[in-house]
Amino acid sequence: MKCSQCGVCCKLFLINLTEKEYKSGKYKTQFEEFGLTEDFQEAEMCGANIITQQKDGSCYYLMDGKCSIHNKRPEACRAFFCKSDNPKFKEMIDRMNKYRQKQQSSSHI
């Protein structure tokens, strides 16, 4: 499957980095101003391995409605597709569809 780069998932979901991604320092993470902890389990427990969000709650790397790091996006982003029939993504896809419907109905007002 290929990502359509609509940016909706970037607006709705937090991105948890893998241990390798977190330790690479390539991604701006929550609590980064306090410094990275070497203990990844500790980072996971406090949410320090989550990509920073913008003020509106969207992913830090969402720029002009598109992922600015699409070719270098984290594993969690690579694994998810909004057209997937994988049951583990059902709730996420339902949430995205509701978001789209809400956006469409509010644009018709």
pLDDT score for 56 = 94
What's the confidence (pLDDT) of residue 64?
93
pLDDT tens, N- to C-terminus, the chain (109 residues): 677 788 899 999 999 999 999 999 899 998 877 777 788 888 888 889 999 999 999 999 999 999 999 999 999 999 888 888 889 999 999 999 999 899 888 876 5
- Terminal-residue alpha carbon distance, the chain: 34
Residue-level pLDDT at 109 = 57
Task: Give the length of the chain.
Answer: 109
pLDDT at 108 (0 to 100) = 63
pLDDT of residue 24: 93
Q: 81: which residues sit within 8 A by CB, 6+ positions away?
A: 1, 3, 89
Q: What pLDDT sits at residue 43?
A: 87
